[in-house]
Amino acid sequence: MDTTPESYLDLFPLEAIVYLTPDSENVLEDIEPDKVYVLGGLVDESIHKELTLRRAREQSLRTARLPIREYMVKAPNSRNYHSETLAINQVFDVLSTYYETRSWPAALRAGVSSGKGYVLPDTAEQ
């Protein structure tokens, strides 16, 4: 991993950047080696709906979201709480596992905690 104070907008062509945000209408289907994935996130305890999506649109960037709805189901829980918003480390875990396994179920199992209210269908009854 490399770190730099420079903006990703200055380092990569706009057409190579995919801004990941849970509010995107586009589903991330695969990781493409010629793309740069920006994990849209906030260091904040509260959820700001569509803030990262607005930021990506202001920068004219392509957006995508993790395929949580496509591979997971809402688990019954006493609080009726379900959230597709993950911490940056959870998104990184999902992406890393997907890159290694090429399996979205395995990747989502690795990164989406049960506290988010989503589970894989094979664990929904447990």
Once rounded to an integer, what is the mean pLDDT over residues 44-70? 86
Instruction: Report the CATH number that the domain containing residue 89 is assigned in CATH.
Output: 3.40.1280.30
pLDDT at 18: 97
What confidence score (pLDDT) does residue 50 get? 82
> What one-letter code names the amino acid at 49?
K
Whether the per-residue pLDDT at 13 is higher than 90: the answer is yes
Asked, for residue 24, whether it belongs to a domain, the answer is: yes
Q: Does 89 map to a domain? A: yes
Banded model confidence at residue 49, pLDDT cuts 50, 70, 90: confident
Report, as an integer, the average pLDDT of 17-31: 96
Return contacts of 79-83, CB within 8 angstroms, 24+ apart.
81/117, 82/116, 82/117, 82/118, 83/47, 83/116, 83/117
Is residue 101 within 8 A of residue 109, CB to CB? The reply is no
The Cα–Cα gap between 121 and 52 comes to: 29
Mean pLDDT of 85-103: 94
pLDDT at 46: 52
- The residues assigned a catalytic role are 44
- Classify residue 3: in a domain, yes or no: no
| Alpha-carbon torsion (123, 92, 51, 32), positive or negative | negative
Statement: residue 101 has pLDDT above 80: yes
In this predicted structure, the answer to whether residue 48 has a pLDDT above a threshold of 80 is no
Q: Please report which residue ranges of the chain form alpha helices under DSSP H.
A: 8-11, 51-58, 68-71, 88-101, 104-111
Closest among 24, 56, 20 to 35, alpha carbons compared: 20
Backbone angles phi, psi at 71, to 5 degrees: -120, -15
How many domains is the chain partitioned into structurally? 1
Give residue 54's domain range. 8-119
The pLDDT value given to residue 82: 86
Does any domain span residue 1? no
82 occurs within a structural domain: yes
> What is the mean pLDDT of the segment spanning 71-79?
87
